[in-house]
Amino acid sequence: MRRALFAIGGLLAFLLLWEGYKLVGNPDGTVLFGTRVLPRADDLSMPHVWTVLSRLGQPELAGGSPVWTVVLRACLFTLGITAAGFVAGTVVGLLLAVAMQRFVIVERGLLPYVILSQTVPLVALAPLIAGWGGTIWPAWMSVSVIAAYLAFFPVAVGMLRGLQSPGTAGVELMRSYAAGWWRTLVKLRLPASLPYLFPALRLAGAAAVVGAVVGEISTGTRGGIGRLVIEYAREATSDPAKVYTAMLGAAVLGLVVAGLVSLLELPLMRHRRRVEVATL
Amino acid sequence: MTAVEVAGVTKVFNAGRPDEVTALSDVDLMVAGGEFVSLIGPSGCGKSTLLRLIADLTPPTSGSISVAGDTATSARRKQEYGIAFQQAGLFEWRTVLRNVELPLELRGMSRAARRDRAREMLELVGLGDFAGHYPAQLSGGMQQRVAIARALAVSPPLLLMDEPFGALDEMTRERLQAELLSICAQTGAAVVFVTHSISEAVFLSHKVVVMSPRPGRITATIDVSLPGRDETVRQSAGYFDTITSVRKALRG
């Protein structure tokens, strides 16, 4: 409840800042020695909040369906792609982490490439992945693969840390019970890794959204919110509020994904609730 | 029957490297079934290492160790011993009851049977009312008692304890000592007990093994003959005499 209030407070602060800057900012932006240091504050660059919101209710094109339904449909399409990418990325990340925990040689050999994978520019990779679309998987799945490519990384790294988190005391206790690697994994390492896994999943969720939006754009996939942002941006000079409706949709999509991921956490982290210590 | 037999055991850490340490040198130790033996000595005398060798948590460099007539490794595989460390080492995501159930679970005992057994063990250490709590909700002394209940749950013929009461205050310590003795009397378990405290070693043990460091070795074995192990013993002359002889042995 309090967290919700804080979130709303943060949103209000942002809106005030936006409208406040529009009020005092130079419509042509502030230029210092030929460089623009503050953005333009005119209605074309920064439409009023209420203009954007009211634009949501108006038809996309004359006689078409209202913008909000178009944005919502695009968001749901991208949400599907994101979900597929998130799940695939998480599974791959978990498997990699377990393999790296099990075999030191895999960790030594693989971890540098896992890190390297994230420094390859996505725009260079996207056409390659898109090229496989329609052959070994349907075209929309290419975008999921890109989302998964971004999402697996935080899971692999976070989960590896989590699996390695139990101290010698726990590991030796399991050894004294004659528990092998698998049972030590299930009874000790997996439960101990949860506090590391959940923040990693939240990062993976955000990365999957970014991957899906960017992936749609760079593979030219139609129907999603990433594509919609580009389409509306073309009309930015005549209809500036429209592009902000699509961006708003993308932002809300990110929040929804983050919210869904943190829901996973609730049932599994009961023991972490703040509790009083009984002394006897 | 012999619970533990250690013969000519030497343990060298980091052999062949500049930081080579001889933790134990040519150690012999016998623990009879149902016997309570304490290992005492200054830090670095290898008493914890000796315990870990018996538990097969680390292999000896040379010499042989047998537990219940078996090699240390196969005794560990058959879970012939229960172990408790200085740190309780409870799993924070499990309730107290499920922590005690853990070794039973790994033995494949049925859910109902292990639940009953764990409850029984918690009653024994006086924590019956805290079965549903998480470890973070308990004080250090209570956590340690849970760890002891966990070690006892499989009713092992041998109990290995590495300064289990080290982190506790004097009052809790004495109460747990009395509890431990009554539990051992009930189950007939042999105990190898590592401690820093002379009075604790004398009060609990049939035999106090005195060790000295660099390299770790056994310098004296002192038999304790006290009439009983109730609180009056703590004031008896025999108790103080034995403490004095252990202290002398420690000074060398």
Give the position of tokens 């290898």: B46
Are A56 and A67 in contact by the 8 Å Cβ rule? The answer is yes
pLDDT of A269 above 80? no
For range A9-38, the mean pLDDT: 82
Closest partner residue to B106 among A179, A191, A278, by Cβ?
Answer: A179
Nearest to B226 by CA among B195, B250, B208, B203: B203
pLDDT in tens, B52-85: 899 888 888 888 888 888 888 888 888 888 888 8
The H or E element spanning position B217 is strand B217-223
Smallest CA–CA distance from B88 into chain A, residue: A169
If pLDDT is split at 50, 70 and 90, which confidence band does B3 have?
confident
Nearest to A42 by CA among A56, A21, A58: A21
The pairing of strands B190-195 and B36-40 is parallel
Give CA separation, B100 vs A209, B22, B95, B130, B185, in Å.
43, 36, 9, 12, 21
Give the position of tokens 């105990």: B191
Q: Is B87 on the interface with A (CB under 8 A)?
A: yes
Which has the minimum average pLDDT: A115-119, A130-134, B28-32? A130-134
Angle at B17 between CA B14 and CA B23, to 5 degrees: 35
The H or E element spanning position A227 is helix A225-233
Q: A38 pairs with which residues across the strands? A: A30
Are B210 and B201 in contact by the 8 Å Cβ rule? The answer is no
ipTM above 0.90, yes or no: no
Q: Which residues from A are below 8 Å from B when comparing CB atoms?
A: 167, 169-170, 172-173, 175-179, 183, 187-188, 191-192, 194, 271, 275-280
The H or E element spanning position B6 is strand B2-13
Closest partner residue to A177 among B93, B94, B106, by Cβ?
Answer: B106
pLDDT of A57 above 80? no
Are B24 and B50 in contact by the 8 Å Cβ rule? The answer is yes
Q: Reduced to 3 states, what is the DSSP secondary structure of residue A27?
A: coil
If pLDDT is split at 50, 70 and 90, which confidence band does B25 have?
confident
Are B37 and B209 in contact by the 8 Å Cβ rule? The answer is yes
If pLDDT is split at 50, 70 and 90, which confidence band does A272 have?
low
Are B204 and B193 in contact by the 8 Å Cβ rule? The answer is yes
pLDDT at position B85: 86
Alpha-carbon distance B148 to nearest alpha carbon in chain A (angstroms): 13
Which has the minimum average pLDDT: A273-277, B14-18, B65-69, B88-92? A273-277
Whether omega before A27 lies within 30 degrees of 0, making that bond cis, reads no
Are B190 and B32 in contact by the 8 Å Cβ rule? The answer is yes
If pLDDT is split at 50, 70 and 90, which confidence band does B140 have?
confident
Angle at A34 between CA A32 and CA A38, to 5 degrees: 45
For range B241-245, the mean pLDDT: 87
Alpha-carbon distance B45 to nearest alpha carbon in chain A (angstroms): 21
Are B250 and B41 in contact by the 8 Å Cβ rule? The answer is yes
Q: Do B76 and A175 touch (CB under 8 A)?
A: yes
Question: Which residues in chain A have their CB less than 8 angstroms from residue B138's CB?
Answer: 277-278
pLDDT of A99 above 90? yes
pLDDT in tens, A206-257: 999 988 988 888 877 888 888 888 888 888 788 888 888 888 888 888 888 8
pLDDT at position B152: 84
Are B190 and B155 in contact by the 8 Å Cβ rule? The answer is no
pLDDT of A158 above 90? yes
Are B126 and B118 in contact by the 8 Å Cβ rule? The answer is no
Are B192 and B159 in contact by the 8 Å Cβ rule? The answer is yes
- How is the beta sheet containing B62-67 ordered, strand by strand? B21-32, B2-13, B62-67, B70-71
Q: Is B164 on the interface with A (CB under 8 A)?
A: no
pLDDT in tens, A171-214: 989 998 888 899 999 999 999 998 899 889 999 999 999 889 88
Are A61 and A195 in contact by the 8 Å Cβ rule? The answer is no
d(CA A182, CA B152): 25
Extended beta strands in chain A, E state: 30-32, 35-38
Give CA separation, B168 vs A104, A112, B43, B146, B164, in Å.
38, 45, 18, 14, 9
Q: Which two tokens stand for residue A129?
A: 């992945």
Q: Which two tokens stand for residue A145?
A: 């693969």
pLDDT at position A276: 59
Smallest CA–CA distance from A268 into chain B, residue: B93
pLDDT of A123 above 80? no
A102: CB partners within 8 A, 6+ apart: A181
pLDDT of A155 above 90? yes
DSSP states of A148-169: HHHHHHHHHHHHHHHHT-S-HH
d(CA A201, CA B45): 47
pLDDT at position A34: 76
Question: Greatest CA separation found in chain A?
Answer: 75
d(CA A194, CA A188): 11
Secondary structure tally for chain A: helices H, strands E: 11, 2
pLDDT at position A96: 93
